[in-house]
Amino acid sequence: MIRVLSIVIAVFSAGTLYAETAAKTLPQEMLSNAEEADLSLFLWTNRLVIVFADSAADPRFNEQVALLAERSSELAERDVKVILDTDPAAKTALRQKFRPRGFMLMLVGKDGQVYLRKPLPWSVREISRSIDKLPQRQQEIRDRRE
């Protein structure tokens, strides 16, 4: 029993350390502070990927941060800012507006509309495909070709 308990504690500790390490690998210019985030600041300039969790130790949060960190350059090409919110007690404006329950991944377009809400982690490939289908992104692609 003690052996199993020590393994569980080791895995949990490694998961928390992994999330902190993965968050540090995201480029700082992509990250925004959840407590200071005001959606109007990002209108028509950035898309937002908002990741909510009740704790930084949530395995789904850890997985999502790692997925975002792996292919952050693809998100940067699409003008994406990432907001990580893992403190329900802080009652940030974003939490009050979107009311997440546990883990939630959101995609907010440049126009301020919520285009995606997912209760499970998504790869950057899936997020990028969703972004590329948006009308604003389609226009950006056409403008670059000209």
For residue 66, the tally of other CB atoms under 10 A from its CB is: 17
pTM of the model: 0.82
Q: Residue 98: which domain range? A: 2-145
Write out the chain's pLDDT in tens, 146 residues.
444 333 334 433 444 444 455 556 788 888 888 888 889 999 999 999 999 999 999 999 999 999 999 999 999 999 999 999 999 999 999 999 999 999 999 999 999 999 999 999 999 999 999 999 999 999 999 999 88
Query: How many CA atoms lie within 13 Å of 130's alpha carbon, on the beta-carbon side?
Result: 21
Q: Residue 8's pLDDT is what?
A: 34
Burial class (CB in 10 A: 0-12, 13-18, 19+), 37: middle
Question: What is the spatial distance between Cα 43 and Cα 87, in angstroms, rounded to a whole number?
Answer: 25
Residue 36: helix, strand or coil by DSSP?
coil
User: Residue 56's domain is classified under what CATH number?
Assistant: 3.40.30.10
* Helices and strands: H and E segment counts in the chain: 6, 5
Looking at the 3D structure of the chain, how many domains does it have? 1
Cβ–Cβ under 8 Å, residues 81 and 47: yes
Q: Residue 7's pLDDT is what?
A: 39
Cβ–Cβ under 8 Å, residues 130 and 72: no
Residue 32: helix, strand or coil by DSSP?
strand
